[in-house]
Amino acid sequence: MQSILASAQSPALVANNFVEVSGLNSNQGIFCQGGLHVNFLFNTVRVLDNNANGAFFLESSDSIVVRNNIFSNTGSGFAFNKNGANTCLSDFNNIHSTGPFIGWWNGIPAADLAEWQTITSNQDTISYSIDPQFDAPGVFLPRAIELNNTGTPEPSVTHDISGVMRHAQNPDIGALEFTPDSLDAAIVSFSSPVPPASAGSTIVRIRLKNNGLNTLTSALIKLQVNNDSPVETNWTGSLPSSDSTTVAVDTVDLVSGESYNLIAWTSLPNGNADPNANNDTAKILGLMPALSGVYTIGGSMPDFPTFTGAVNTLMQAGVAGPVIFNVRNGTYTEKIAIGQIPGADSTRQIIFQSESGDSSLVVLAYSSMDFNVPWTLLLNGASWLTFRKMTIEATGTSFAQVVQITQNARNNTFLNNILRTTSIPSFSISRAVVYCISGNNLKNVFRKNRIVNGSTGRWFEGDFNEGNFTPGLEVDSN
């Protein structure tokens, strides 16, 4: 929709639509650009594949009303994307995404509903951010009980997409009025263990939910750990409709360095067959006890033979305390990408340092031949990392960035390192020694490093034009 101009007395209406988008292109379920006085009411929009732009995309539009909609993006992109500081009233929606952010509001992402309400100045205060529980692609009937009878009436929309009269006081959210199942036991998630999980004996707890209309009084819960035989728990109680409770189902011993798959499922609500199997199961795959303490990389009998092995474990397991990687002397021919590390914060920082203390004797080097991957070390949203007394080197002839920093990477320190790239003359950013891409990459410190060669030693970009700033950057004594 583009340049749809209506009036306050007679607004344009977009209501009771089923929209589904699939494929790998950056398409939108509903797109409105340059609209004026447009009401989006009771729509169900699904995005199935990788799509960053969103199920609902609003740009440079004013006097917009967004209520009683289901916006669901299971392709890891935004559910709601708004650009342009114009009036938009939004509430009684379900804004759901399986990605890291549910929405984007005038240049600021929101990871969850609470953040969304903050950045939107208290829009969607009576909205949800839950899985609608559609059975399959092409199916628009939600199974989530929270969406039943929780909308707000709209005089302009008295029937749903199939012609069924909407509830006069409490209509359903989305394009379709629906009746939840009478009995439906669901496992929402694991309450424990969750990354970062400490090694040792751990009680396994799941979150049991009554997704049916009738009170749940019993359910059978099974837990399987790796290939072990399932352990059964016969839960009994009194769980009202839409409520949930935590249930302890077993105790497992988590051993450092081992990987665990945990699968829990429920059946027989109140002794009857469960009509909705899609919400019965929760999984934790590849759980590893979190790291804490001192580890070695390389050399004789190391904890990790390579940087890659250490980083993969770090990303998968997370940290439960401060972590130091002492790197033995040698040349490590690897490229390393580090993203967000579970558990990392100001009290649980991670240090990579040469064990000998000689920065020339530990060399992390890589020769890239890929324009899209020109770096040796990428901090892709990583935080609370320190690299100390090492050589990090890019040896490619065309693409030779040493360090690239992006995606809100924060509180990282480079201290007493040699950062070196090729001596080939060039003005290309792909041969910068340090390249910090525009974004909220805050409080990163470069101190007392030797920076050698490159088209430029340090290239830092900010996002001032988008209202974002880059405080805390420190470049000292290099």
**Model confidence band, residue 52 (pLDDT cutoffs 50, 70, 90):** low
Q: How many Å apart are CA 71 and CA 30, to the nearest integer? A: 10
3-state SS, residue 72: strand
DSSP 225-241: ETTSPPEEEEEEEEE-T
Single out the residue in 147, 165, 200 at which a domain terminates: 147
**pLDDT over 70 for what percent of the chain?**
94
Instruction: For residues 204 and 334, state if they share a domain.
Output: no
Instruction: For residues 347 and 471, state if they share a domain.
Output: yes
Q: Is the residue at 6 inside a domain?
A: no
Q: Is the residue at 253 inside a domain?
A: yes
pLDDT recorded at residue 463: 54
Over range 278-284, report the average pLDDT.
Answer: 95
Q: Is the residue at 362 inside a domain?
A: yes
pLDDT recorded at residue 300: 95
Single out the residue in 238, 257, 287 at which a domain terminates: 287
Closest to 41 in 3D by CA, of 66, 62, 20: 66
Instruction: For residues 299 and 448, state if they share a domain.
Output: yes
Which stretch, 239-248, 405-414, 458-467, has highest mean pLDDT? Answer: 239-248
Question: Which residues are paired to 351 by β-bridges?
Answer: 324, 386
Residue 359 Cα distances to 367, 378, 389, angstroms: 20, 20, 4
Please give the structure tokens belonging to residue 208: 């049991």
Single out the residue in 91, 119, 147 at which a domain terminates: 147
Range of the domain at 192: 185-287
pLDDT recorded at residue 256: 86
**Model confidence band, residue 432 (pLDDT cutoffs 50, 70, 90):** confident
- CB under 8 Å to 464, separation ≥6 — which residues? none
The residue among 233 and 472 whose pLDDT is bigger is 233
**pLDDT over 90 for what percent of the chain?**
76
Instruction: For residues 206 and 297, state if they share a domain.
Output: no
Instruction: For residues 323 and 244, state if they share a domain.
Output: no
Q: Is the residue at 57 inside a domain?
A: yes
Instruction: For residues 333 and 452, state if they share a domain.
Output: yes
Burial class (CB in 10 A: 0-12, 13-18, 19+), 305: middle
Q: Is the residue at 99 inside a domain?
A: yes
Instruction: For residues 127 and 242, state if they share a domain.
Output: no
Residue 48 has pLDDT above 70, yes or no: yes
Instruction: For residues 461 and 324, state if they share a domain.
Output: yes
Q: How many domains does the chain have?
A: 3
pLDDT recorded at residue 224: 97
Please give the structure tokens belonging to residue 95: 């804004």
Q: Is the residue at 176 inside a domain?
A: no
3-state SS, residue 393: strand
Q: Is the residue at 7 inside a domain?
A: no
Q: What integer best gives the mean pLDDT of the chain?
A: 91
DSSP 140-202: -----GGGTT-S--BTTB-B-TTSPBPPSSSPPSSSS-----S--EEEEEEEES-SSB-SEEE
Instruction: For residues 264 and 312, state if they share a domain.
Output: no
Residue 399 has pLDDT above 80, yes or no: yes
Residue 356 has pLDDT above 50, yes or no: yes
**Model confidence band, residue 465 (pLDDT cutoffs 50, 70, 90):** very low
- Single pTM value for the model: 0.78
Q: Is the residue at 29 inside a domain?
A: yes
Give the pLDDT confidence of 164-196 residue by residue, as tens digits: 999 999 999 999 999 999 999 999 999 999 889
Instruction: For residues 455 and 467, state if they share a domain.
Output: yes
Over range 4-16, report the average pLDDT.
Answer: 94
Instruction: For residues 354 and 424, state if they share a domain.
Output: yes
Over range 400-409, report the average pLDDT.
Answer: 88
Give the pLDDT confidence of 292-344 residue by residue, as tens digits: 999 999 999 999 999 999 999 999 999 999 999 999 999 999 999 999 999 99
Give the pLDDT confidence of 374-398 residue by residue, as tens digits: 999 999 989 999 999 999 999 998 8
Please give the structure tokens belonging to residue 64: 């917009």
Q: In CATH, what number is assigned to the domain containing residue 326?
A: 2.160.20.10
**Model confidence band, residue 371 (pLDDT cutoffs 50, 70, 90):** confident
Closest to 250 in 3D by CA, of 262, 266, 238: 262
Backbone angle region of 410, left / alpha / beta, with phi > 0 → left and psi within -120 to 50 → alpha: beta
Instruction: For residues 281 and 359, state if they share a domain.
Output: no
Q: How many Å apart are CA 167 and CA 160, to the nearest integer? A: 10
